Structure 1
């Protein structure tokens, strides 16, 4: 079978590829080797797929359905492996036993086309928040996960460099960086976080109704994780005449439902929205940037 990467993956990785990166070129052969090593039967490549990995629907030698996932080093697949192993299937997709190969994960099969985004908005937020709560556990001892301070520190440097030529963007960046500085002063807890949680990262399963997939794990306070969920369906929020008020209600409702400080959630939502918006500007996605920065302005 030909393991051609979906165009969505090609475009996304092309935005962030360092000079000389040849992971996409080597991907078809790496996928063939991964399938052969595990004696898997390939059903199909998941389309349109994700933005950081190739996802292949397969069956194991005993006929059990599974998912084979291949990701480049910059997507931190070994960090994902460690987080999934630590969660042990509690709230997240189960990591299956396999010969460990760097950049290759064998996972339990969920329903890849059914996420909580298929539910009405209020129900989707409720189910997503409930799933997220189960992931917030103590990190393993001697862990090597990136911390919130480390990740946002790298992002802050890129934000400053990108926003220097636009007064409106610079003002939002200044506000986001000030919020980050204050939030890092005294974080209320230290948990293992999903890192990139949103509704589309919660899929229907057989073991449990909903399970999280695709973590980019980080260690820090829970409000950082929840912040990305606040802006889910941002295009609908921007299109609504009551979008700003809806956003503020969402911050309040999510904070109360998960026992997170409302102001800390608002601060991290601001930082993450501005960071994403500035990154969209940097890689040439002005429409996405406009949505995200308008949303950030409501906070």
Structure 2
């Protein structure tokens, strides 16, 4: 069996990743051919097409007899730790079906979805409503293994307070929202946290989620990815479009509008903090523009 060839553009990007709770990207890449070969042998799979890649994973279409599947290997990092756990928890309801997994190695065997059909192929209003409806099925009570939202956000809020590049008004507002929203009685629901348009693929005539980065918390935290993707469609005055997307998704998901906007503003403030860490002025400007667009 011919080894799977790793796309050069992907290996160049991953090689630059610093360690984040596991090996560096460069060190991990050296293990990927063995991980793929081991999974192909263990699960009796044959490659069935060129690999697809994301920021942290490679996905190889495979066959097992007449069955078409997808073999996914993911770089170890905290956000990906519980992907197999929650896919098993969802059991194929509104999410890609998990066939088998070796979580210690970051290897999963999944149903094969139509990678050519994601929610970028439908009008944005329809896409937001679709994601809202998916959230009603995905946001079930969180498994106990997931980090609670307050614990997840605490280090991000702390780093934000010590980044001088962030406008002070954004720091104060974001930390104030966190104090108001992170109450002991908030729901502890299973959150996908990265449900943007490319992370919803077609299963025949149904839309399902892929690539969760799960935590436990309030469903209002789910909406920001709808706003900072397909940004070109917001035009030069983004506020109306941003508000429209929040309203459509929140109403479809059954999230109160006041809560939806409050959580979106909190996460948008954290997005500004993340953007400043990249050292890219264009990313900072984009994040601040989105944060302003969420204002009343």
TM bucket (normalised to shorter chain) is: 0.7 to 0.9
Distance 1:147 1:75 in 2: 14
Q: Does 1:23 align with 2:3?
A: no
Distance 2:265 2:274 in 1: 14
Counterpart of 2:86 in structure 1 is 83
Counterpart of 2:206 in structure 1 is 209
**TM-score, normalized by length of structure 2?**
0.87
> Which runs of 5 or more structure 2 residues have no equivalent in the other structure?
none
Counterpart of 2:57 in structure 1 is 53
Query: What's the secondary structure of 1:34's corresponding residue?
Result: helix
Query: What's the secondary structure of 1:96's corresponding residue?
Result: strand
Counterpart of 1:222 in structure 2 is 219
> Which runs of 5 or more structure 1 residues have no equivalent in the other structure?
none
Counterpart of 1:38 in structure 2 is 43
Q: Which of 99, 110, 114 is the equivalent residue of 1:111? A: 114
Distance 1:16 1:170 in 2: 29
Shift of 1:229: 2.5
Asked if 1 retains the 8 angstrom alpha-carbon contact of 2:98 and 2:108, the reply is yes
Distance 2:102 2:228 in 1: 38
Query: What's the secondary structure of 1:123's corresponding residue?
Result: helix
Asked if 2 retains the 8 angstrom alpha-carbon contact of 1:244 and 1:298, the reply is yes
Aligned length: 289
**TM-score, normalized by length of structure 1?**
0.87
Q: Which of 185, 189, 196 is the equivalent residue of 1:198? A: 196
Shift of 1:186: 5.2
Q: How does 1:1-299 map to 2 (within 5 A)?
A: 1-5=3-7, 7-8=9-10, 10-11=12-13, 14-18=16-20, 21=24, 22-47=27-52, 49-60=53-64, 62-97=65-100, 102-140=105-143, 143-161=144-162, 163-164=163-164, 166=165, 169-185=167-183, 187-206=185-204, 209-237=206-234, 240-299=235-294
Shift of 1:270: 1.9
Distance 1:226 1:87 in 2: 20
Query: What's the secondary structure of 1:70's corresponding residue?
Result: strand
Distance 2:14 2:268 in 1: 18
Shift of 1:117: 1.2
Distance 1:33 1:193 in 2: 31
Shift of 1:232: 3.2
Shift of 1:75: 4.7
Asked if 1 retains the 8 angstrom alpha-carbon contact of 2:129 and 2:248, the reply is no
Distance 1:244 1:296 in 2: 10
Root-mean-square deviation over aligned CA pairs: 2.4
Asked if 1 retains the 8 angstrom alpha-carbon contact of 2:135 and 2:253, the reply is no
Distance 2:239 2:18 in 1: 31
